[in-house]
């Protein structure tokens, strides 16, 4: 497998042709109390809410019937707890990595949008205008997060040629992976919607990956 650049240019499509036939199942973690309160989570370790635990159970019921060869997750608790029931049902080890973490929001973590606007009006306005180039105070640029998430994908794909792999991450990291693999400019990152425990699927072919399912939450209905 070859990637054209260590850091894909905005709008550039990495080459993953050696992974033809591999399917990547991307899942956002289940609901947390901070999701309910609309608080910024970032790298802060937040547990699942009771309804989030039920969402994880339903996700497991849905995906455990599939021939999923491996399950990876962000090392943050909300992603691990979402992935654990699925890995157990499949009988495969859960493998975790910090590369799949959400973007770090630094000083803004734990706060609501209104609290961020009140405390950092200029910085938040700049980030809202250009969330690709700007970073939260003590935080991380979205491009930096995308670089590490795509590095993770590039590293695991050769291990599972023609197989199905589940990756449980965060709204931001799932969107960053989708933008990078589909060749979307990173500037559309904030306009993509990825709901809690939603499932998106990418199937790799010689001409590049195809998005076959996006933000599906039918298992919660």
- Name the residues annotated as catalytic: 29, 102
Both tokens assigned to 75: 């090392």
Partnered with residue 74 across adjacent β-strands are: 97
């Amino acid at each position: 497998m070859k990637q054209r650049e260590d850091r894909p240019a905005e709008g550039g499509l990495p080459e993953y042709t050696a992974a033809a036939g591999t399917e990547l199942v991307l899942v956002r973690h289940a609901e947390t109390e901070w999701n309910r309160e609309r608080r910024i989570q970032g790298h802060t370790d937040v547990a699942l809410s009771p309804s989030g635990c039920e969402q994880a159970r339903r996700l497991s019921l849905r995906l455990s019937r599939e021939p999923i060869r491996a399950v990876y997750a962000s090392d943050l608790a909300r992603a691990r707890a979402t992935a654990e029931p699925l890995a157990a049902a499949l009988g495969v080890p859960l493998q975790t990595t910090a590369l799949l973490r959400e973007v770090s929001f630094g000083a803004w973590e734990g706060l609501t949008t209104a609290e961020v606007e009140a405390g950092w009006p200029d910085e938040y306005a700049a980030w809202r205008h250009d969330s690709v180039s700007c970073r939260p105070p003590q935080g991380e640029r979205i491009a930096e997060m995308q670089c590490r998430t795509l590095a993770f994908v590039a590293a695991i794909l050769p291990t599972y040629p023609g197989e199905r792999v589940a990756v449980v991450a965060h709204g931001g990291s799932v969107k960053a992976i989708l933008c990078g693999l589909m060749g979307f400019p990173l500037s559309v990152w904030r306009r993509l919607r990825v709901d809690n425990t939603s499932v998106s699927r990418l199937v790799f072919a010689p001409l590049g990956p195809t998005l076959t399912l996006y933000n599906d939450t039918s298992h919660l209905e």
